Structure 1
Amino acid sequence: MSLFWIVLRQLAQIEAMATSKKLITREEWEKKLSDVKIKKEDMNKLVMNFLVTEGFVDVAEKFRMESGTEPDIDLATISDRMAVKKAVQSGNVEDAIDKVNDLNPEILDTNPQLFFHLQQQRLIELIRNGKVEEALEFAQEELAPRGEENIAFLEELERTVALLAFEDVTNCPVGDLLDISQRLKTASEVNAAILTSQSHEKDPKLPSLLKMLVWAQNQLDEKAAYPRITNLSTANLEDPAV
Structure 2
Amino acid sequence: MNPTATKRFVSRSEWEQRLSKVKVNKQDLNQLVMNYLVIEGYKDAAEQFSAESGLSPAVDLESIQERMEIRHAIQSGDVDTAIDLVNDLNPEILDTNPQLFFRLQQQRLIELIRKGDFGAALEFAAEEMAPRGEEHPEFLEELERTMALFAFQDINTSPVKDLLHSGHRQKTASELNTAILDSQSREKEPKLPNLLKMLVWSQVQLDERLLYPRIEDFLKADLVTPEEELVKSTDH
Work out the number of aligned pairs and report it.
Answer: 228
Q: Which has the larger radius of gyration?
A: 1
| CA pair 58-225 structure 1, distance change in 2 beyond 3 A | same
**In 1: Cα distance, 2:140 partner to 2:24 partner:** 50
Shift of the alpha carbon at 1:168? 4.4
Structure 1 equivalent of residue 234 of structure 2: none
Secondary structure of 1:37's partner? Answer: coil
Structure 1 equivalent of residue 133 of structure 2: 147
| CA pair 200-154 structure 1, distance change in 2 beyond 3 A | same
2:25 to 36, 39, 43: 39
Residue identity in the other structure for 2:210: A
Unaligned runs of 5+ in 1: 1-11
Are 1:213 and 2:196 matched, yes or no?
A: no
Residue identity in the other structure for 1:75: L
Shift of the alpha carbon at 1:102? 1.9
Structure 1 equivalent of residue 39 of structure 2: 53
| CA pair 74-123 structure 1, distance change in 2 beyond 3 A | same
**In 1: Cα distance, 2:17 partner to 2:158 partner:** 57
Are 1:94 and 2:63 matched, yes or no?
A: no
Map 1:1-80 → 2, pairs under 5 A? 20-80=6-66
Are 1:194 and 2:180 matched, yes or no?
A: yes
Secondary structure of 1:38's partner? Answer: coil
Unaligned runs of 5+ in 2: 231-236
| CA pair 24-61 structure 1, distance change in 2 beyond 3 A | same
Map 1:95-110 → 2, pairs under 5 A? 95-110=81-96
Are 1:228 and 2:214 matched, yes or no?
A: yes
Map 1:103-122 → 2, pairs under 5 A? 103-122=89-108
Shift of the alpha carbon at 1:145? 2.4
Secondary structure of 1:70's partner? Answer: coil
| CA pair 127-62 structure 1, distance change in 2 beyond 3 A | closer
Residue identity in the other structure for 2:129: L
Residues 2-34 of structure 1 deviation map (CA, whole Å, 9 limit, x = unaligned): xxxxxxxxxx9xxx9xx7333344454334333
My pick for the range that moved more, 217-226 or 168-177, is 168-177
Secondary structure of 2:23's partner? Answer: coil
**In 2: Cα distance, 1:158 partner to 1:227 partner:** 45
Shift of the alpha carbon at 1:94? 0.8
| CA pair 51-147 structure 1, distance change in 2 beyond 3 A | same
Shift of the alpha carbon at 1:167? 4.3
Residues 81-122 of structure 1 deviation map (CA, whole Å, 9 limit, x = unaligned): 222122122221111101111222222122111111111222
What is the TM-score normalised by the length of structure 1? 0.75
**In 2: Cα distance, 1:182 partner to 1:27 partner:** 42
